[in-house]
Amino acid sequence: MMAHLTRDPITLDEWHGAAVDRWDGASVEFLGIVRGEESGRPISHLDYEAYEPMAERVMERLVQQARAQWPLHAVCVRHRVGQVAVGEVAVLIGVRAPHRDEAFEACRFLIKAIKRDVPIWKAAVSQDGRRLQPTCADGHETH
């Protein structure tokens, strides 16, 4: 299982169906879900765009880094692109490892690194279809 972008809804079937290794003792998954508001304003969906060839390459490299650091077996990373409605899963990260500490740590490493390094951008769209001004990492609106 590798790291992929997808235009389709993310389901857990593939991840949950991955064969369990006999050494697996912990399975941790993180789901990033689209919240119904952005900076206090209600939204209808997020619009994600990616520089796709680089985004997948960077995600796969981060999975390799996680594998080098922790004894992981199955690893699954999926990130949506395009319109993702409130309540839908925008990102899925799943890891299995012999013990819970390494599984939690690897999962946390992956979501933090993905948010920092993968060329994916989101724009919030309000319920009346307006694109809300993107905000910088520090929360201030750009002009």
Residues of this chain that bind other proteins (CB under 8 A)? 32, 48-51, 53-55, 57, 79, 90-91, 111, 114-123, 134, 136-137, 142-143
C-beta atoms surrounding 60 within 10 Å: 14
For other proteins, the closer CB: 3 or 72: 3
For other proteins, the closer CB: 103 or 114: 114
For the CB of residue 104, give the shortest distance to other proteins in the complex, in Å: 17
C-beta atoms surrounding 50 within 10 Å: 19
- Edge-to-edge strands, sheet with 75-80: 3-6, 75-80, 89-97, 26-33
For the CB of residue 142, give the shortest distance to other proteins in the complex, in Å: 6
For the CB of residue 100, give the shortest distance to other proteins in the complex, in Å: 22
Query: Rounded to an integer, what distance in angstroms lies between the CA atom of residue 40 and that of residue 43?
Result: 9
For the CB of residue 22, give the shortest distance to other proteins in the complex, in Å: 32
For other proteins, the closer CB: 24 or 85: 85
Query: Rounded to an integer, what distance in angstroms lies between the CA atom of residue 105 and that of residue 40?
Result: 31
Classify the C-alpha dihedral 96-33-123-84 as positive or negative.
positive
For other proteins, the closer CB: 23 or 121: 121
